[in-house]
Chain A
Amino acid sequence: MSVARARVQPPPLRFELEGGALALFEPANSVPLVSIVVSLRSGSAVEPADKAGLARLAVRMLRRGCQGMTSEQIDFRIDALGAEMAVDTSPSTVAIHAQVIARNVDAFVDLLALMLATPTFPHQELERLKRETVAEIVESRDNDRSVAQKALQRTLFEGHPYGRNAGGTTEGVEAIGGDDVQAFYRRFVVQGNAVIGIAGDVTVERAPELARRIALALPRGERTLDTVPEPTSRPGRHLLLADKPERTQTQILVATLGTSAHDEDHVPLAVANAVFGGTFTSRLMREVRSKRGWSYGASARTLVDRRRQAWVMWTFPAAEDAAPCMKLTLDLMEAWVNDGVTAREVAFIARYLVRSHAFDVDTAAKRLHQALDVELLGLPEDYYTAWIDHVRAVTAKSASEAVRTRIHPENMLAVVVGTAAQVLDPLRGAIANLADASVVPFDVE
């Protein structure tokens, strides 16, 4: 196995900035664009439990008014500079992601710094943003996959901060006041809690200066330590059906607790998962789609965060195929856990993972995001840089053991979005040793 002509990619440049902020820079000049990320080491997990959506709302408020500029003027200025800006929230981080045409990067950094340094948090704008956010949450219920993912998250991690919806709930957003937003800003949107990323068409001489201007715009403040506890698994097999009328199809997610990036068997599990459901020729895809045509897609993923996250399997068969598809995928899962993976499968998938690594690092923005993940999620320092070596070291034995250790089919949650009258009873019959089945309306939060 080899990656001929593979280039050794140096890690992004790191700059320690005043006040404890960290900056990462990844240069590239193939296209005149600059990506800028202002990320915080805190996300939805630090929100008060009754104010789900606060982290996202507080950071979105930064573009709703600053010294000398209204929300409308800020929006217009961002566009006129050939820039775009969005907020992304997860349990462990909330980040502003921006991209700008390279010739305007200075003017954009001036604007960004002004927004970070002098937000005015106008009451009228906060109320408007809350109404906008609630409307977006209501609208997202039209998307069955989104309904399934939210139901899975809140049920699998019930009572744990990872069970909160990072996008917020209608009740949580409505409960947020101006004081909450300002308190979040003062506590978390501060130098010591910030990791600033720049990638693209900026010289190595200018990048630190741009990062410093952004960092200095933030209030002084300390890094927030993560006190989120490890999630625990709920014993037994459970079915949650989100009942939605007139579905011709079902969205099926089957999940257990998965892996932590610090587990010794983390990479072996990732390799075993790729065999099971990570590619187009994986076991799941072959059995569900290629042989039976039951679902357009079939995949399995191991999610990564600071604490142990979920392992999730996804299919979306027609309503009449939901029960047989559920039974088949659970059988496949159990065979995967009980019998493991073969040496031939591991050799094949290792070739895929090693050779396709070129596409994990083919743009400056991707390389920057890997480095940001390491910082923000506390991943092992060599998580990405030594990925290829770690994959090559996996054997069929270590991969099979990792699956047996981490994946527990007897403690699993199945979430289905579908029409209960049509699919509930067949699904009950398809899941052996089911502890309980519950039905909720699809718009439950």
Chain B
Amino acid sequence: MASSRDPSGGRRAWAAQTGGLTYGGAHPFGPETVHRWQLENGLTVLTLLDPSAPIASYHTWYKVGSRHEKPGKTGLAHLFEHLMFNETESLRAGTFDRKLEENGAESNAATWVDWTYYYESLPADRVKLAVKLEAERMARLVLREPQVASEKEVVANERRYRVDDDIEGAANELLYKAAFVTHPYGWPTIGWMEDIQGFTPEDCVAFYRTYYAPNNATVVVSGDLRERDLLVSIRDAYASIPAQSIPPEDIVPEPAQLDTRDLVVRKPTVTEKLLLAFKGPALGDADHATMTVLSEVLFGGRASRLYRALVVERELATDVRGWVSTFRDPGLFECVGTAREAHTTQALQAVMDEAFAVVRAEVVGEDELVRAKARLELGALQQLETIPGKAEQIGFYETVLGDPAHAFRRVESFRRVSTGDLRRVARRYLTEGGRTIVRVVPEGAPTAEAAQ
């Protein structure tokens, strides 16, 4: 029986007795607790007991994303994510998904700039199937030409869907390409089409051997768990997978942007779109929460300053939104507006610039600050509504910041933000000299110069 003063609940002693596992401590996670464990090969395991539904969610987060690619090989992390659902040494192609479906599981994966993750959500009594399958594909994936060729076609079609035939996807890709000239955040995670089509099985094998290793991954399991039983299964399934030497990152930091980059792209649409981006803070920067609150004051919801100005009062736009990228390295503060027919990006930009000038010069009202914080708290709680949602939040913040409970620390950070803080970050980040603008204009529309 554990002492009531032992936050590990007897886990430390149990791990020492069991062998092959080290207990790494407890992380308060709101009213619940995340427990940290490590295997001898470096695999980190985080557990959260939540008996609110008879399910479990098993997430495997790898510290590899498109930032680890090279020019000419963009999109490899994402293509590889697709290939992870194929053949392994003991499972024929298609068997992986069939086994999961047969056991009632939901599974999927995602790749972005800093990470790749895979999840299986299953009835709680089936969670060991996820342990077995994830350990299998971490170590024994088979990569052959037919699967690679077919999956390249699938990814090419995904790119057509998300980027080539999607106006906003295409404009967003252009925005990041223009904003980042040295940092890998400048290329799209899905990859350039010619790179996707050029990959070989050898590229995929090299990528797998480099990054898919226990010491480059975190397993997060949340739900109605028999924790000790589960941990023994994890140890037994993964213990034989050797750690790898993960190469140090070779990233050149993005130099300060001193110029304004202003691009026009023509698309088959009747409405103009404005994407305007300032360089923003990294997720781990103390300014990130403050900039997020400022974004909410300006763009969050119908009562925000720019929604009211552009959509409600002047009726120049259909919609506006702002987002501070949640990346490990400094990203962008994206400001997006969709113009109504016959209105221009220049008109939208003039109103946005006016709003930016005001928040640089004056403090926002206390009531606006309260409104923004309430919306952000609501959003944070919504992400923790489900058992898979909790695992995702834990895995994301552990992988990017090394802090599995950061979702709660972030809400505390929002609460501490003052009106003076907002003006300070506005002056620091909303600088007119160094920003990137992409204007989507209808095909056949006169150029700005011709219109003048």
Contact = CB atoms under 8 A, between A and B. Distances in A.
Interface stretch (A128-136, A174-182, A228-236, A330-338): A128-136
Given A352-B102, A356-B106, A362-B387, A293 B157 contact: yes
B125 A279 contact: no
A32 B32 CA distance: 13
B412 to A, nearest CB: 15
A33 B312 contact: no
Contact of B270 (A138, A246, A316): A138
B150 A358 contact: no
A244 B268 contact: yes
Nearest to B105: A356
B381 A31 contact: yes
Contacts of A443: 270
A351 B161 contact: no
- B interface residue count range (under 10 / 10 to 19 / 20 to 34 / 35 or more): 35 or more
A281 B245 CA distance: 36
A281 B338 contact: no
B228 to A, nearest CB: 17
Nearest to B268: A245
B123 A355 contact: yes
Contacts of B315: 128, 131-132
B103 interface: yes
A82 B151 CA distance: 43
Contact of A79 (B55, B124, B154, B375): B375
20 contacts: A5-B54, A6-B54, A76-B367, A78-B303, A79-B300, A79-B302, A82-B374, A84-B378, A135-B341, A136-B318, A139-B318, A245-B268, A248-B165, A293-B151, A294-B153, A295-B154, A348-B98, A356-B101, A359-B55, A361-B53
Contact of A75 (B55, B302, B370, B381): B302
Contacts of B384: 31
B386 A363 contact: yes
Contact of B374 (A4, A101, A280): A101
B105 A247 contact: no
A296 B157 contact: yes
Given A28-B52, A249-B157, A355-B126, A80 B104 contact: no
A339 interface: no
Nearest to B30: A31
A357 B103 CA distance: 11
Nearest to B273: A142
State the 9 A-B residue pairs at the shortest beta-carbon distance, nearest first. Answer: A355-B104, A293-B153, A82-B374, A356-B104, A362-B53, A30-B52, A75-B303, A249-B160, A296-B158
Contacts, number: 182
A318 interface: yes
A362 B255 CA distance: 47
Contacts of B387: 362
- A interface residue count range (under 10 / 10 to 19 / 20 to 34 / 35 or more): 35 or more
Nearest to A246: B268
Given A79-B371, A132-B318, A318-B156, A359 B121 contact: yes
B167 interface: yes
A123 interface: no
A204 interface: no
A277 to B, nearest CB: 13
B384 to A, nearest CB: 5
B318 A318 contact: no
B167 A142 contact: yes
A283 B352 CA distance: 50
Interface in B87-101: 93-94, 97-98, 101
A83 interface: yes
Given A101-B377, A249-B165, A135 B340 contact: yes
B223 to A, nearest CB: 9
A6 B377 CA distance: 33
Nearest to B370: A80
